[in-house]
A = this chain, B = another copy of it.
Amino acid sequence: MSDLLHFEDYAAGQVIDLGTYAVTAAEIREFASEFDPLPFHLDEAAGRASLLGGLAASGWHVCSMLMRMIADSWLNKSASMGSNGVSEVKWLKPVFAGETLSGRVTIVSKRVSSKRPEMGIFECLFELFNQEGVKKTEMTAVVFMRVKAA
């Protein structure tokens, strides 16, 4: 545990790079088959005929890709304690096969839980962009992190 970053190691206003994620048609179809089997996430022609305009990832798949980026680039290097929810997800634009996403998280605010002094609470803004810098998804969520001093 000693090499993990804790609540005290992060500052309000800090921005953390979340790396990249390459989106493939195979993964879009695989996720959709299991969890979101609507035609526009499964079939290229149905995607083109829909509001999405092409074979686009399920919004839940996009959130899951973002979660993987968050885990790899941030939380698995930290004493993360999870989260109890998300206050907003905006799927601003569809995410298509062949795009490469990049992301960042901004720690909007930080405080120690009044009920659990060993637990810090970060309010975070997560943003996902494609390779051309077009913002695809924006999410606001809480992340819990252990307080080293506690």
Name A residues whose Cβ lies closer than 8 Å to a Cβ of B: 31, 34-38, 40, 50-52, 58-60, 63-65, 67-68, 71-72, 75-76, 80-92, 119, 144
Residue from the set A58, A72, A82, A144 with the largest chain B CB neighbour count within 10 Å:
A82
Which B residues are CB-close (under 8 A) to A68? Answer: 34-37
Nearest B residue to A64, CB-CB: B35
In the assembled complex, the Cα of A92 lies from the Cα of B89 at a distance in Å of 18
- How many identical subunits does the complex contain? 2
A140 to chain B, nearest CB (A): 10
**Residue pair B87, A36 in contact (C-beta under 8 Å):** no
- Complex CA gap A91/B82 in Å reads 11
Contact B59–A83 (Cβ < 8 Å): yes
Q: How far, in angstroms, from A67 to B50 measured CA to CA in the complex?
A: 19
Give the distance to chain B from A14, nearest Cβ to Cβ, in Å: 20
Contact assessment for B90 and A36 in the assembled complex, using a CB-CB cutoff below 8 Å: no
Q: Check if A37 sits within 8 Å of B71, measured CB to CB.
A: yes
Among residues of B, the one whose C-beta sits closest to the C-beta of A39 is B76
Residues of B contacting A60 in the complex (Cβ-Cβ under 8 angstroms): 60, 63-64, 67
